[in-house]
Chains A and B, each alone.
Chain A
Amino acid sequence: MDGSSLTPTSPGTDRRTFHKIASVVFGSILGLVLTIPGAAFVLSPVLKRSGSSGDSGADDGFRPIAKLSDLEEGIPRVFPILGKSTDAWVRYPEEPIGSVWVIRKGKEVTAYSAECPHLGCAVGLGPDGNSFYCPCHTSSFGFDGQAKNKIPPRGMDSLEVKLAASPSGDDPEILVKFLRFRTAVPEKTPLV
């Protein structure tokens, strides 16, 4: 590596050392000018928060999904959540952006996100008709949302529900605040 077999045009180890150090330093600057913006570019989704899909609907985030009379006592029904959404550069008009399971006990209504808390598959009704069931990894939940086997890390994710009185009186509208949550962890953590 010392090139002793050659006749250097610029003798002196000082200059050689300078050339070596300068090459490494300049080379590193070159690399950094490319990698730092490059890393920021790739990490864009983490660095930028506004890139979330799905707007919040009304200001408080509650969206109407059905009338109370659409539900029979104790029988869960699935409803689409309508909303405008942004997929990177594309702005979509209002259309279904997710689903919720809704179940009624008297005047009390409970809503669960249809996204499995295990790994995000769509939860449907179990073959017995008395439980929720995820077709991907067989997560099973009761109608109370509690896990019925060990596969999901937590119960189904309940969503906030509001009943809004309708102008005509006795058939209120069901409003649900739709959120997505982190999967595969025991805690229910909303994604922002």
Chain B
Amino acid sequence: MFKRLSDWLDDRTGYRHLLEEALDEPVKGGARWRYVFGSAVTTAFMIQLVTGVLLMTSYSPSSSTAWGSVYFISYEMVGGWFVRGLHHFGAQAMVVLLFLHLLQVLIAGAYRSPREVNWWLGMVLLFITLAFSLTGYLLPWDQKGYWATKVATNIMGITPVVGPYVQKVVVGGNEYGNQTLTRFYGIHVGVLPGLLVLTLAAHIAVFRRHGVTAPEKATGSDPFWPKQVFMDTVASLAVLGVVAFFAIAERGAPLDAPAEPSSSDYPARPEWYFLSLFQMLKRPEFAGENEIIGAIIVPGAIVTALFAFPLLDKIFPRKLGHFLACSLVFALVGVAGLLTMQAWKEDAANADFQVTRAKADVARKRALFLAGHPEAGVPPEGSRYVLLNDPLYAGSSVLERKCLSCHYYDGKGVLERGHDGKMVMTKQIAADLKGFGTRPWLEGLLANPSDAKYFGSTPQLSGMAQWKKTTKLKPDELKTVTDFVAEFAKVGDEETIDDWLSRNEISEHPGLELFKKDCGRCHTVDAEGILGEGGEVEAPNLFGWGSPRWVRRMIRHPNAADRYGYLEEKDQMPGFGQTELSDREMSVLIRLFSGQYVPDDPATAAAGH
């Protein structure tokens, strides 16, 4: 039955002849392990094809969704981390194997007549593969891919005449964003696979025409099936084994924090096999106007030389040509190796790099933690906002950039480079903002207003210290007043004083009278003086103290009459308008003070970062 069916199929398709053609292809000089590299590269490509198509079913190429979808693949989907890990390390395996294949062909002299065309096809395959890795690196739209791609496309832009146009077309404009991603994605999953399959088919066809380049003394011959197939399969399995090992050992592929175009100190590094080129550009020989030499001319010359290898025989005696070709490649490998080592060493010895990388790791861990947290997640605005909306991460960053030159947070200012070049902590001249507006902060203030944490370090702010000396409140009364003042933090944005006072819990609060008698001597709250007439010593209006609206006004208009307008101008806090502090920054700051955020990941907190 099976025989009849296959006979029929063969009659209609001629598949047996095709199969025999493929499998009985003679391997001149016998099957050899050294012939496995071509197949190994092909296997690596097959791994990329399978895992790539799988990833395509879950990846979403846009600047707002890419990172989130890659997060989802890596951390939420079943087997996602493994599929992505295989793709990530498979890509590197492909580059390595391609290079080994190239070396084997070079040493065997297989690039020479009559196989010139196949050498050139191989070169084309090498560039397609490098283009794959360059475009793929960007797709997660994480910090690493974003900055590395920015550098790579800017190098592209150095090319004389066409450079800027090519760059603009590839990037999809001047800004890196949705169009960059969709273009890179289209190139990565459509253009390059098509080109690679066509070129690979041609490469194999031409290879079959000329066969392997057997060693001179080799005699006999094996059919391709089964001995060479066996060797090729063993090699392929080894490739997959190594790739799977790395995928498992590294628990998938790395994912950095979402791309943040406003980062000021992200230490971008290319994939390791581009490190030698990267290091070369750092050399003084290629600085400034000479950049083009390092970025375009040297790599271009190397490529041209590689392409010209088959033609060396036309100029030099056969052996000398081969010797020159091999020498050049080994010299290149040596130099590239040295440069790569240098790049690693420099980074390892560079304290600034370590600091910025550690900072980037804090962002990465926080982003991954938040993306998977039930109370956070990736917001609809886009993956960037995982961090931008996070009070702990973005709020701390706003603090550092805008507040800590005067204020402290949790006992610390920021490190600044002093006159002698050493890093010194800024001097505290305003309150410590950790927990500002919360009940513990208030308790601390009322217990010891002249502590550096509160108003002790702020010039002129002595009112509360005077109060502390003169107040007649007993401890239990002080607690009641504290309870009452803590109520201010719950004042809503739309609430008026009358609305608030008509709330039962306020009008019947035992602290109301105490507040009026003691705090109301200086702090005015309402025009009618229900909560005290104020005026003894100048003081800010406390209505809503600690609520978002109070803090917002304090930051935007610190010098208003109801805030600290009474201070001498030189000691006033500068106001932060919309241009200095966006609404989003304001919101994360307020939520940071009031503690409304997802706490630090216990795992990373325990690691003491």
A interface residues (Cβ-Cβ under 8 A, vs B): 1, 3, 6-10, 15-16, 18-20, 22-23, 26-27, 29-30, 33-34, 37-38, 40-44, 47-48, 51, 86, 88-93
Contacts and interface: CB of A to CB of B under 8 A. Distances in A.
Interface string B65-83: 1001101100011111011
B152 interface: no
Contacts of B227: 8-10, 15-16, 19
B50 A34 contact: yes
Tell me the dominant secondary structure on chain A's binding face. helix
A44 B79 contact: yes
A27 B378 CA distance: 41
A6 B230 contact: no
15 contacts: A8-B222, A19-B226, A23-B230, A23-B233, A27-B233, A34-B51, A37-B82, A41-B79, A42-B54, A44-B77, A88-B68, A88-B76, A89-B72, A90-B380, A91-B377
Given A18-B230, A88-B76, 17 more contacts: A3-B24, A6-B26, A7-B221, A8-B220, A8-B222, A9-B30, A23-B233, A26-B234, A34-B86, A37-B83, A41-B54, A42-B54, A43-B78, A88-B69, A89-B69, A90-B378, A92-B380
Contact of B222 (A3, A34, A51, A88): A3
Contact of B78 (A16, A30, A44, A91): A44
Interface string B1-29: 00000000000000000001001101000
B56 to A, nearest CB: 11
B229 A19 contact: yes
A91 B80 CA distance: 20
B233 A26 contact: yes
Given A9-B220, A89-B72, A33 B377 contact: no
With most chain A CB atoms within 10 A of its CB, the pick from B20, B57, B225, B233 is B233
A22 B230 contact: yes
B120 to A, nearest CB: 30
A15 B233 CA distance: 16
A33 B24 CA distance: 28
B97 to A, nearest CB: 15
Nearest to A17: B226
B330 to A, nearest CB: 31
B47 interface: yes
Interface residues of B, number: 47
Tell me the dominant secondary structure on chain B's binding face. helix
Contacts of B463: none
B412 to A, nearest CB: 33
B31 interface: yes
Contacts of A33: 240, 244
Nearest to B241: A33
Contacts of A37: 79, 82-83, 86
Given A6-B223, A88-B69, A44 B378 contact: no
A27 B234 CA distance: 8
A89 B229 contact: no
Interface in B207-243: 220-223, 225-227, 229-230, 233-234, 236-237, 240
Contacts of B76: 48, 51, 88-89
With most chain A CB atoms within 10 A of its CB, the pick from B23, B57, B226, B236 is B226
Nearest to B20: A1
Nearest to B70: A89
A144 B109 CA distance: 85
Contacts of B20: 1
Given A88-B72, A89-B72, A44 B80 contact: yes
B78 A47 contact: yes
Contact of B378 (A38, A47, A51, A89): A89
A89 B68 contact: yes
Contact of B377 (A30, A44, A86): A86
A164 B562 CA distance: 45
A30 B233 contact: yes
B77 A41 contact: yes
With most chain A CB atoms within 10 A of its CB, the pick from B57, B77, B380 is B77
B447 to A, nearest CB: 40
B380 A30 contact: no
Given A30-B43, A30-B240, A47-B78, A7 B220 contact: yes
Contacts of B83: 37-38, 41
Contacts of B72: 88-89
B376 interface: yes
Given A29-B237, A37-B83, A90 B379 contact: yes
B592 interface: no
Contacts of B26: 6
